[in-house]
Structure formats: structure tokens, C-alpha cells
């Protein structure tokens, strides 16, 4: 048979095409039947608004997907890092039904962004996009200050129509006068937030009693805490703890226990640090902040 093939190019071509199509049919064509099936629909997952969609297109334009992934694997470290405080925060198929194209990426030079939405307040993103190293000193991300330029909205409505996303005249109006940065931040804040996992993680009761284990030796703990504070907190709360993007900690009325929960689980614009720092380091941070309270 092979002797025949070697003499008949048309048959070889056709047979090669058939052979190629077998695996293609099973692993690429057939899965369309199952992937994005209505049974996998997640009710909370909404299409992009005009502003978010423009932000997504800028994310594509700048090639953010070359360094940032958008899919959290069901692995302990992935979930703890990118969906802290949750146990099932890995990415679900139903979360991506409006993503044309998908932006899962293949390399994490920077962190995964599948659930970046709501982690930081908008102000953090504006500062970080403009000058990444002002917020994350060792970052190697390029600065995107030029994105303070006006957003091109000439195609916005056509884009929404092409994708079949619903929109109101008000939403369409909302892109007017916006900058590219505004759109980008709006997109980032949407990511991963259609499932209310962040609130659930922040509201979950903390197990154990919330007393500082370093109460006996606050000074030593505060010393380590100071280093941790400089690494993780100064960007928003300032070197002097007097606040900035985040609130003033010197005048904070929070108890040590409340302070611990807020750092550990996050709340509002405050990211959760429990899964990246662990209890001990968080208590050291609490010790440091307490030791500075009220001081000039």
C-alpha cells in the first residue's frame, strides 16, 4: 500500500488530510459540543460594558497577555495566590463565555490577572500603570503613562454590535471623554468579579482567637513588621503610615484583632495578605502598626 502512496501524490495528499483530521475532529471540533454548554452557565457572569470592552481591546493592543495569564488552575498555590481566602477560586469555563478571543496566556512573567478585579482600588491601578515601580519596586513591567491619552471611541458601538453584547445609551455615553487608562482600569476591575468570591472570602469568619501571639515581645515583632510594612504596605499607606490611597493608620481606631482580619482577609479596596504572608507575618505587621499608633 505504501508503495502505491509513494507514487500517487493526490492520494497521499488526501490521505494525509484525512489522517490530520482524525485528531482534529476528536479534540478540536467535538469539544464544541460540550464547552460553553448552557449547563455550564454562571448566572452572575455578564458581558462587557462598552468601557470595559474598550479596556479589554487596549489590553490586547498592548500585548498584556504576553506576560499575564488569566486562568487560575485548581492547584493549592494557584488558588491561594490568585484567589486568596477562597477554596474554589480557580477559573471556571462559564466565566469566559464572553471572551472573544480568550486571554489565558502562556507565561506568567507577571502575576495572573484572572481575579485582579477588586483587589486594589482604582487609584492603585492608575499609579501602577503609569509607573509600576512606584507601587512594586522590583517590577519589570513597562510604564503605560501614555495611556492617559483620550480613548478612541469611534468603533465602540460597532464593537458591541459585532459581539452581540447588550448596552444602554447611558453606557455608550459613559465612554465619552474617558482616557485609555480609564478603560483599562474599568476592564481590570471587572476581571474575575462576576462571581462574588472576594466578598465571601472577606466576610468568612476567621477561625481561632484573634489575640496577638507576640503580645509578650511586641518590640521584636514590630521590627520584622516594619520590614514587611515597607515591602507590602507603604505604596498605599505611606512610609509614615499617614495614608494615601489607603487610610491613615496612625489615627485608626481598629483593634488589633480587627486590624489582623483586615490584613489577613482584605476588605473593600484592601487586598488580602493572609495567603501570601501567613498568620505569623500578619501579626508582626499588626504589632508594628500598633507600635506606631498615636506617635507623631
Partner 1 sequence: MSLKTGYSDDVTRGFLTWSIIWGLVAVLVGVFISFQLVFPQLNFPPYLTYGRLRPIHTNAAIFGWGIGSFMAMFYYITQRLTKVPIWSPGLARFQLWLFNLVIILAAVSLAMGYTQSKEYAELEWPIDILVVILWVIFAVNIFMTIMKRKEEQMYVSLWYIIATLVGVAVLYLVNNASIPVSLFKSYSAYAGANDANVQWWYGHNAVAMVLTTPPLAIFYYFLPKITGVPIYSHRMGIIAFWSLIFMYLWTGAHHLLWTPVPDWVQTLAMGFSIILIAPSWASVFNGYFSMNGQWHQMRDNYLVKFLIFGITFYGLQTIQGPSQAIRTFSAFIHYTDWVPGHVHMGALGWVSLVLFAGIYYLIPRLYNTELHSVKLANAHFWMATVGQLIYSISMWVAGVQQATMLHATNADGSLHYTFMETLAEMYPYWHMRAGGGVIYLVSLLIFIYNIIKTIRSGSAVGETLRATGAA
Of residues 38 through 77, those in contact with partner 1 by CB under 8 A are 57, 60-67, 69, 71, 73-77
Quote the CA–CA distance of 284 and 19 in Å, as a whole number: 62
Binding status of residue 11 toward partner 1 by CB under 8 A: no
Q: Which of 16, 220, 227, 239 binds partner 1 (CB under 8 A)?
A: 16
Binding status of residue 27 toward partner 1 by CB under 8 A: yes
Sequence-separated (6 or more) residues with CB below 8 Å from residue 153: 54, 175, 176, 178
Binding status of residue 200 toward partner 1 by CB under 8 A: no
10 Å CB burial of residue 286 (0-12, 13-18, 19+) is: buried
Interface positions, 267-296, toward partner 1 (CB under 8 A): 274-280
Binding mask 228-257 for partner 1 (x = CB under 8 A): ---xx-------------------------
Interface positions, 127-156, toward partner 1 (CB under 8 A): 132-133, 136, 138-146, 155
Q: How far is the CB of 74 from partner 1 (least distance, A)?
A: 6
Q: How far is the CB of 251 from partner 1 (least distance, A)?
A: 28
b/e sequence 249-276, b meaning 16+ C-beta within 10 Å: bbebebebeebbbbbbbbbebbbbbbbe
Place of cell 491613615: 248
Quote the CA–CA distance of 206 and 261 in Å, as a whole number: 7
Is 71:114 a contact under the CB 8 Å cutoff? yes
b/e sequence 189-217, b meaning 16+ C-beta within 10 Å: bbbbbbbebbeebbeeeeeeeeebebeee
Place of cell 476591575: 189
Quote the CA–CA distance of 84 and 112 in Å, as a whole number: 12
Q: Which of 159, 250, 267, 292 binds partner 1 (CB under 8 A)?
A: 159
Interface positions, 98-127, toward partner 1 (CB under 8 A): 98-112
Q: Which of 2, 43, 170, 295 binds partner 1 (CB under 8 A)?
A: 2
What cell numbers appear for 84 in the block? 486568596
Scanning 4-12, 217-225, 235-243, 284-292 for contacts with partner 1 by CB under 8 A, the matching segment is 4-12
Q: How far is the CB of 240 from partner 1 (least distance, A)?
A: 23
> 67 or 172, CB closer to partner 1?
67
Task: Please report how the helices 50-61 and 180-190 are oriented relative to each other, as an axis angle in degrees rounded to 10.
Answer: 100
> 167 or 250, CB closer to partner 1?
167
Binding status of residue 35 toward partner 1 by CB under 8 A: yes
Q: How far is the CB of 89 from partner 1 (least distance, A)?
A: 13
Phi/psi for 116 (5° steps) reads -70, -25
Binding status of residue 28 toward partner 1 by CB under 8 A: yes
Binding status of residue 169 toward partner 1 by CB under 8 A: no
> 106 or 253, CB closer to partner 1?
106
Amino acid at each position: 500500500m505504501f508503495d502505491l502512496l509513494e507514487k500517487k501524490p493526490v492520494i497521499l495528499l488526501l490521505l494525509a488530510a484525512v489522517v490530520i483530521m482524525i485528531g482534529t475532529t476528536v479534540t478540536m471540533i467535538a469539544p464544541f459540543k460540550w464547552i460553553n454548554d448552557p449547563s455550564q452557565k454562571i448566572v452572575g457572569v455578564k458581558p462587557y460594558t462598552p468601557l470595559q470592552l474598550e479596556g479589554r481591546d487596549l489590553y490586547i493592543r498592548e500585548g498584556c497577555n504576553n506576560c499575564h495569564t488569566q486562568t487560575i488552575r485548581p492547584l493549592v498555590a494557584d488558588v491561594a495566590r490568585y484567589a486568596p481566602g477562597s477554596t474554589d477560586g480557580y477559573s471556571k469555563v462559564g466565566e469566559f463565555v464572553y471572551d472573544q478571543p480568550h486571554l489565558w496566556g502562556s507565561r506568567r512573567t507577571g502575576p495572573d490577572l484572572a481575579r485582579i478585579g477588586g483587589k486594589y482600588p482604582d487609584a492603585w491601578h492608575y499609579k501602577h500603570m503609569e509607573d509600576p515601580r512606584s507601587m512594586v519596586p522590583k517590577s519589570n513591567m513597562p510604564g503605560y503613562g501614555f495611556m492617559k491619552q483620550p480613548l478612541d471611541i469611534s468603533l465602540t458601538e460597532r464593537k458591541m454590535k459585532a459581539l452581540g453584547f447588550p448596552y444602554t445609551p447611558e453606557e455608550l455615553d459613559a465612554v465619552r471623554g474617558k482616557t485609555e487608562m480609564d478603560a483599562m482600569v474599568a476592564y481590570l476591575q471587572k476581571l474575575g468579579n462576576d462571581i462574588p468570591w472576594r466578598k465571601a472570602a472577606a466576610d468568612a469568619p476567621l477561625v481561632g482567637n484573634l489575640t496577638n501571639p507576640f503580645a509578650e515581645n511586641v518590640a521584636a515583632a514590630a521590627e520584622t513588621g516594619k520590614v514587611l510594612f515597607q515591602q507590602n504596605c507603604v505604596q498605599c499607606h505611606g512610609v509614615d503610615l499617614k495614608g494615601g490611597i489607603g487610610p491613615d493608620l496612625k489615627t485608626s481606631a481598629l483593634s488589633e484583632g480587627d486590624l489582623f482580619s483586615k490584613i489577613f482577609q482584605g476588605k473593600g479596596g484592601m487586598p488580602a495578605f493572609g495567603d501570601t504572608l501567613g498568620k505569623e507575618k500578619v501579626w508582626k505587621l499588626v504589632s508594628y502598626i500598633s507600635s506606631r499608633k498615636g506617635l507623631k
